[in-house]
Amino acid sequence: MEAANSLRLMSCTNVQISGLKLINSPMMHISVGKSANVDIRGITISSPGDSPNTDGIHIQQSQHVMVTDSVIGTGDDCVSMSDGAVDVSVNNVACGPGHGISIGSLGIAGTVATASDIYVSNCNLSQTTNGGGSGFARNISFVNINMNEVRNPIIIDQYYCPHSSCASKTTAVQVSDVKYLSVTGTSTSSVAIALNCSQTVPCTGITMDNVNLWSANQGQQVQSNCIDAKGSVKDKVSPAVPCLTQ
């Protein structure tokens, strides 16, 4: 049986949530579904880093959502956006522990899934892990992001499998027009930038500008990994990403 969410908004319009502190939710702390014009600000969320499925704020099938000036530490995504998330802004959020700020779980079980117009800016991620089907994820920006000991600072993974065994995929959600601008910090893994895109539906329009990632482990180097990703580099990007043109 699915555990309870601490606060769930369903089919709501013109909502403001502010100044709340949520601790140790059985599942998601705040869930937003089929809603519009939602303003979430000044929230503190806390649960252990090893607590499963305890997303801080989950947004699905909702439009015009703002998450600002909040501190979130969980065992899952600090902020997660999935199918139907459109025009979402995440600004000035401190995230950690947790899985990061993520757009994911699109196209599960072959469904058509979409997410677009997502803007993440001025966020700090500390000791986090990350930042099938068809449809699209497009027009997504990560701007002025600071990483501190993050396992996968920049990752697009169309082969993501949360279980021990997953079926082989022949389709994927189309990922396009994703920007990483002024992203800096440390990686605990050797692969700081991973663009793992589908051979069937490659990623396009990936843009990186002023990206500087280095190892959290003194004396070690970091690298990038590319599979079927296309895009461009505007200014300095380290580690270098060979699949993106200068």
User: Which residues are part of the catalytic machinery?
Assistant: 99
Q: Locate the DSSP E strands across 19-56.
A: 21-23, 30-33, 36-41, 44-46
The per-type count for the chain, helices as H runs and strands as E runs, is: 0, 21
Region for residue 197 given its phi and psi (left: phi exceeds 0; alpha: psi -120 to 50; beta: otherwise): beta
Backbone φ and ψ for 58, nearest 5 degrees, come out as: -115, 130
Burial environment of residue 144 by CB neighbours within 10 A (0 to 12, 13 to 18, 19 or more) = middle
Burial environment of residue 11 by CB neighbours within 10 A (0 to 12, 13 to 18, 19 or more) = exposed
In the beta sheet, which residues pair with residue 101? 79
108 three-class SS: helix
